[in-house]
Amino acid sequence: MSRTIVIEGAHVVTVDGAEYADGHVVVTDGRISAVGAGPAPQAPGAERIDGRGCLATPGLVNTHNHLYQWATQGLFADGTLFEWLVGSYEIWHRLDAEVVSGTTSAGMAHLALSGCTTASDHHYIYPSGRGDIVAAEVEAAREVGIRLDLARGSMDRGHSAGGLPPDSVVETTDGALEGTAAAIDAHHDASPESMTRVAAAPCSPFSVSRELMVGAAELARAKGVRLHTHLAETLDEEAQCQAEFGCTPVEYAEKLGWLGEDVWFAHAVHLSDAAIARIAATGTGVAHCPTSNARLGAGICRVTELLEAGARVGLGVDGPASSELTGLAGEMHQALLMARARRGPQALSARQALEMATLGGARVLGRDAELGSITVGKVADIALWRVDGFGYDVIDDPVVAAVFGPTPPLERLLVGGNTVVDRGQLRTLSADTAAARGRAAHRALLQEASL
């Protein structure tokens, strides 16, 4: 039996070029079947949502996260990235499937409450004998009900081999590739409606061997999945790359076959003009994580220049331990402020920030054919924001209200036409349950680490 949902009276921003101050969206069987100005077409028996006083946008797309870090928020608060990592690894190597299940429940629930409908999680720590971490994460994400893009990470270069992480937390090169292949085979779903996709995602040049980088690229392309890693996040990384490889991080990535439309980099803070040009020319994506970059003092991504060059840019929350309690909607605000702090008030507009958080993110993840805009035929991932409350009611442009100010209350969140959030409350896994699981994961991990 066909199921129809009608949203009427909202300010609809499709992000693909159209905007309707008093618009409608019709959803039929999980896909957008109509969008336009004025009242919706007749739809007998439809569920009707009163969108008056609301801004309708595509669901937000998070292009980079570390959900396991929910358990270690607030630690090493004044450290540089490398100092923060060194301290954190001493805790993270005690992760197990139960802890990851709890952090995924809490982290994905928090993302949903910030309007996120798709989240890419870069998980790269797989201690031996600690359970099926990938399966635990996939199952917990499905319970929350938003889409998971699992970037199956890996590290094979421990401290004894000149890498940053302790030897206890890395895999062998073969073990990392086998684990990545197993995750793809077990969980990757390439269908347009997919709730779970898997990417090959070695952690970073300072924790991964050349052999693993090359092997992961070959594996991903053989299996038709995408490639992800951290790159050019700090000046320390730039210096190490120059000292060890005699080139910049982007040049090193290109030598290894890591530029292309199937690749996206997290952070990309320290880029030369030449690096920006190569990223744009090759269709490589960038996950811009402004709050985390500021929290760790890493710098400010040259997002204006990337966009001007035609690069694919999305937004990422990054790990909760370097971006405490940050919702994806808040990253639109941060991205706007960071860009303007660098380049002035025309550096980034409210609508550009919204596009990065939606269609831009979908492009980065290779999913723009099916999500990222309110377009007929796409899956119905839609966020409805309340912009008629105290304070918002004196800003006539609802997009400016949503991006320039605090994140508006979330009235409704649809994922494939299914309600995940209604009037600020989760309707899948309860927020209380998600929070309790996150607290339990935090206590268990820190207790084992004796902190």
Tokens, residue 392: 């918002």
Question: Backbone phi, then psi, for 118, in 5-degree steps?
Answer: -140, 130
Contact assessment for residue 144 and residue 112, using Cβ atoms and an 8 Å cutoff: yes
How many CB atoms sit inside 10 A of residue 394's CB?
A: 7
What is the SS3 assignment for the chain? Answer: CCCEEEEEEEEEECCCCCEEEEEEEEEECCEEEEEEECCCCCCCCCEEEECCCEEEEECEEEEEECHHHHHHCCCCCCCCHHHHHHHHHHHHCCCCHHHHHHHHHHHHHHHHCCCEEEEEEEECCCCCCCCCHHHHHHHHHHHHCCEEEEEEEECCCCHHHCCCCCHHHCCCHHHHHHHHHHHHHHHCCCCCCCCEEEEEEECCCCCCCHHHHHHHHHHHHHHCCCEEEEECCCHHHHHHHHHHHCCCHHHHHHHCCCCCCCEEEEECCCCCHHHHHHHHHHCCEEEECHHHHHHCCCCCCCHHHHHHHCCEEEECCCCCCCCCCCCHHHHHHHHHHHHHHHHCCCCCCHHHHHHHHHHHHHHHCCCCCCCCCCCCCCECCEEEEECCCCCHHHCCCHHHHHHHCCCCCEEEEEECCEEEEECCEECCCCHHHHHHHHHHHHHHHHHHCCC
Tokens, residue 174: 């073969």
What pLDDT, in 10s, does the model give residues 269-281? Answer: 999 999 999 999 9
What pLDDT, in 10s, does the model give residues 75-89? Answer: 999 998 889 988 999
Rounded percentage of the chain residues whose pLDDT exceeds 90: 91
- What is the average pLDDT across 235-263? 95
User: Which of 97, 116, 103 has the alpha carbon at shortest distance from 70?
Assistant: 103
What pLDDT, in 10s, does the model give residues 204-213? Answer: 987 899 999 9
Predicted confidence (pLDDT) at residue 1 exceeds the cutoff of 70: no
What pLDDT, in 10s, does the model give residues 374-429? Answer: 999 999 999 999 999 999 999 999 999 999 999 999 999 999 999 999 999 999 99
Q: How many residues does the chain have?
A: 451
How far is 85 from 370, CA to CA, in rounded Å?
Answer: 36
What pLDDT score was predicted for residue 451? Answer: 53
What pLDDT score was predicted for residue 449? Answer: 77
Per CATH, is 4-58+371-425 categorized as 2.30.40.10?
Answer: yes
Identify the band that residue 2 occupies on the pLDDT scale cut at 50, 70 and 90: confident
How many CB atoms sit inside 10 A of residue 242's CB?
A: 14
- pTM of the model as a whole: 0.97
Contact assessment for residue 74 and residue 298, using Cβ atoms and an 8 Å cutoff: no
What pLDDT score was predicted for residue 295? Answer: 94
What pLDDT, in 10s, does the model give residues 316-365? Answer: 999 999 999 999 999 999 999 999 999 999 999 999 999 999 999 999 99
Task: Supply angle C-alpha 121, 127, 130, rounded to 5.
Answer: 95
What pLDDT score was predicted for residue 450? Answer: 72
What pLDDT, in 10s, does the model give residues 138-161? Answer: 999 999 999 999 999 999 999 898
CATH number of 60-364: 3.20.20.140
CATH 2.30.40.10 domain residues, the chain? 4-58+371-425
Tokens, residue 376: 């007929």
CATH 3.20.20.140 domain residues, the chain? 60-364
Q: Is the dihedral of CA 332, 123, 117, 420 positive or negative?
A: negative
How far is 329 from 410, CA to CA, in rounded Å?
Answer: 10
How many CB atoms sit inside 10 A of residue 413's CB?
A: 28
